[in-house]
């Protein structure tokens, strides 16, 4: 269910969103087993408010060239996406940018390892101007990609980047 996926991905930032549980309550009602699905104006308002909160302070932060960078990447059979994050003074990771895109028809034929790799390559391309000349960490939930930095055949901009890949549960 798309709503469940959306709410799951937003939960990472709930500690930065005032009254988050109250805001998302109309959406929670839609996830109850015996409840008939009915998207109301209240649900739409909650959805829009959560999206707005994700792109404003204190969730979304301005890029600071002095702070370390973390790139979180993920893929599905439908889309790829990434989040560029930096630590705040309290040690919390805050997003700086959220690029994503739907897969092209020919990309949908790839296996999940290839899609996860594509998500990383796409993120490195989109974040290149933030990342170039800095050491950073790529976080992926796909353990098979930890070897990526050892690939010798990379060409172009990615070769010039100084990164470490870390396997994490996203």
Instruction: Outline where 41-111 has alpha helix (H).
Output: 41-54
Does residue 126 contact residue 82 with C-beta atoms inside 8 Å? yes
Which regions of the chain carry the CATH code 3.30.420.10? 69-167
> At 154, is the pLDDT very low, low, confident or very high (cuts 50, 70, 90)?
low
Q: Which DSSP helix (H) or strand (E) runs through 115?
A: helix 112-126
How would you classify residue 156: left for phi > 0, otherwise alpha for psi between -120 and 50, otherwise beta?
left
Instruction: Give me the mean pLDDT over the 103-112 stretch.
Output: 92
The CATH architecture of the domain made up of 69-167 is 2-Layer Sandwich (3.30)
Average pLDDT, integer, range 120-144: 90
Q: End-to-end CA distance of the chain, in Å?
A: 18
Does position 138 have pLDDT exceeding 90, yes or no?
A: yes
Report the share of the chain in percent with pLDDT over 70. Answer: 90
pLDDT in tens, 4-14: 888 888 888 88
- What is the predicted pLDDT for the residue at 152? 62
């Amino acid at each position: 269910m798309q709503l469940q996926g959306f709410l799951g991905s937003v939960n990472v930032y709930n500690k930065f969103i005032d009254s988050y549980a109250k805001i998302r309550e109309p959406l929670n009602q839609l996830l109850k087993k015996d409840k008939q699905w009915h998207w109301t104006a209240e649900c739409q308002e909650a959805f829009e408010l959560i999206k707005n909160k994700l792109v404003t302070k204190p969730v979304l932060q301005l890029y600071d060239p002095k702070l370390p960078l973390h790139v979180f990447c993920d893929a599905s059979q439908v889309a790829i996406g990434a989040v560029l994050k930096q630590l705040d003074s309290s040690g919390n990771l805050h997003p700086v940018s959220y690029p994503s895109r739907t897969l092209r028809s020919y990309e949908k034929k790839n296996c999940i390892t290839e899609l996860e790799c594509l998500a990383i390559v796409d993120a490195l391309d989109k974040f290149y101007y933030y990342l170039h000349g800095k050491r950073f960490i790529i976080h992926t939930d796909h353990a098979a990609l930890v070897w990526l930095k050892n690939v010798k055949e990379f060409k172009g901009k990615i070769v010039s980047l100084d990164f470490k890949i870390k396997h994490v549960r996203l």
